[in-house]
Amino acid sequence: MKLLQHKVGLAFTLAAAALLLVAPQYLKNYGVYLLSYWLVFVIAIMGLNLTTGYAGQKSLGHAAFFGIGAYTVAILMKAGFSFWLGLPAAALICFVVGLVLGFPALRVQAIYLAFATLGFNTAIWLVMRNEEWLTGGTFGINNITRPALWGYSLEGNRPYYYFVLAVTLVMAGLLWGLLRSPWGKAFKALRDNPIRAESLGIDIRNYTLLSFAIGAVYAGVAGALFASLVQFIEPAPFTVGASIMMYLMVVVGGAGYFLGPVLGAAVGVVLPEWMRDVPGVAAWYLPIFGSAVVLMMVWLPDGLLSIPDRLKERRAAREASALRAANAAKMKARS
């Protein structure tokens, strides 16, 4: 049964991959740009899914790492360095800062941690807004170019899209490998029962720090790609509000489900962009989204990808009660 499920999953993935490869042929320039935009957020949300969905650390400061990645690339490129230096630099800086953010997580739990990360985001955003000498302040940094790869220019929307797609697949593959390894189970143990985990020899200290650091790296890489995608970086996309939206995207897609970010980013980023030009609807997207989140918590608290599991549970419960009823009838018939 498991093998069949795997085969179906594999077929689905290949079909999706094929679709992603040929999509640009059928889309206008803006559509291709939107796809890249979506994939950038998929990478960032994958990182948050690791920190929050798999390792259970309530992080409301993810947009700060996204911003650090973006500003690293923007600042380095403005200073004359190549994008190919900026990208690994963004990843490294985010890894270190992510580790640092993990330390409060060792001391405080749950909601207190959420607010500590929220505060961290505020602090980073304030630096982005105030330190004009470094970040350009509210004016930001513009004219960020797209890089060239082995002689090929990635300037156009289409070549840049394929580049972003490649990075997304690589990052997704690495995350898949990580979660399938013993680390994946260790993270889940940390999420489900840290006290028991510790008494079983799982170093919850290290895994907590790493869940923040690795999640941050994903956001940093996404931020780097974001900088060259939108080509103008300012503090607005990296606020606490953005972090909260990222958290909601993880939850809506399904925390702890590998493909949750794909769905979450589609709902949180693509949908509003799509509707931005539709008159009358654009302004109501956020109120509807907010209300949908409230309703979802009541009816589907584990996110959209939990629907198959829910249906399975319901069917199993129905079968169990049918079995009980049948047995009860049999007993009655005998007596």
Partner 1 sequence: MTDFLQLFLSGLATGSIYALAALGFTLLWQASGTINFAQGEFVMLPAFMMLGFMSLGAPMLVSVVCTVLLAVVLLGWVFKRGLVDPLFKYGMMPIVVATIGLSIAMRNGVRAGYSAEAHPFPSLFADKIYNIAGVTVTLQDIGTFSLALVIVMATQAFLAKTVTGRAMQAVAQNTESASVLGINVPRMIFYTFAINAVLAVAAAMLVTPTYLAKFDMGEGLGNKAFFAAIIGGFNNSRGALLGGLIVGVCENLAAAYISPAYKDAVALVIFMVVILFKPQGLLGKKEERKV
Partner 2 sequence: MNHPLLKVTGLKKAYGAIQAVGGVSFEVMPGEIFGVIGPNGSGKTTMFNSVLGQITPDAGEIELNGQSISGLSPLALSRRGVGRTFQTLQVFGKMTVRDNLIVAAQEHQGSMLSRIFAPGDSGLGDRADALIDQFRIRHVAHTLAGTLSYGQQKLVDIAMAFMAQPALVLLDEPCAGVNPSLVGGISNLLKELNQNPKLGQQSSFVVIEHNMDFVMDLCHRIMVMVEGRVMAIGTPAEIRANKEVLDAYLGN
What residues line the site for partner 1 (CB under 8 A)?
A: 58, 104, 107-108, 110-112, 114-116, 118-119, 122-123, 126, 129-130, 195, 240-241, 244, 247-248, 251, 283-284, 286-294, 296-298, 301
Which of residues 104 and 184 has its CB atom nearest to partner 1 in the complex? 104
25 binds, among partner 2, partner 1, none (CB under 5 to 8 A by kind): none
List the beta bridge partners of residue 149: 152
Which of residues 178 and 244 has its CB atom nearest to partner 2 in the complex? 178
The span of 18-26, 37-45, 84-92, 187-195 binding partner 2 (CB under 8 A) equals 187-195
The distance of closest approach from Cβ of residue 207 to partner 2 in the complex, given in angstroms and rounded to an integer, is 8
Which of residues 86 and 303 has its CB atom nearest to partner 1 in the complex? 303
- Chosen residue from 253, 256, 260, 268 binding partner 2 by CB under 8 A: 256
The backbone torsions φ and ψ at residue 145, rounded to the nearest 5 degrees and listed phi first, read: -90, 165
333 binds, among partner 1, partner 2, none (CB under 5 to 8 A by kind): none
The distance of closest approach from Cβ of residue 245 to partner 2 in the complex, given in angstroms and rounded to an integer, is 25
Q: Is the dihedral of CA 313, 314, 320, 321 positive or negative?
A: positive
Which of residues 13 and 109 has its CB atom nearest to partner 1 in the complex? 109
Which of residues 77 and 213 has its CB atom nearest to partner 2 in the complex? 213
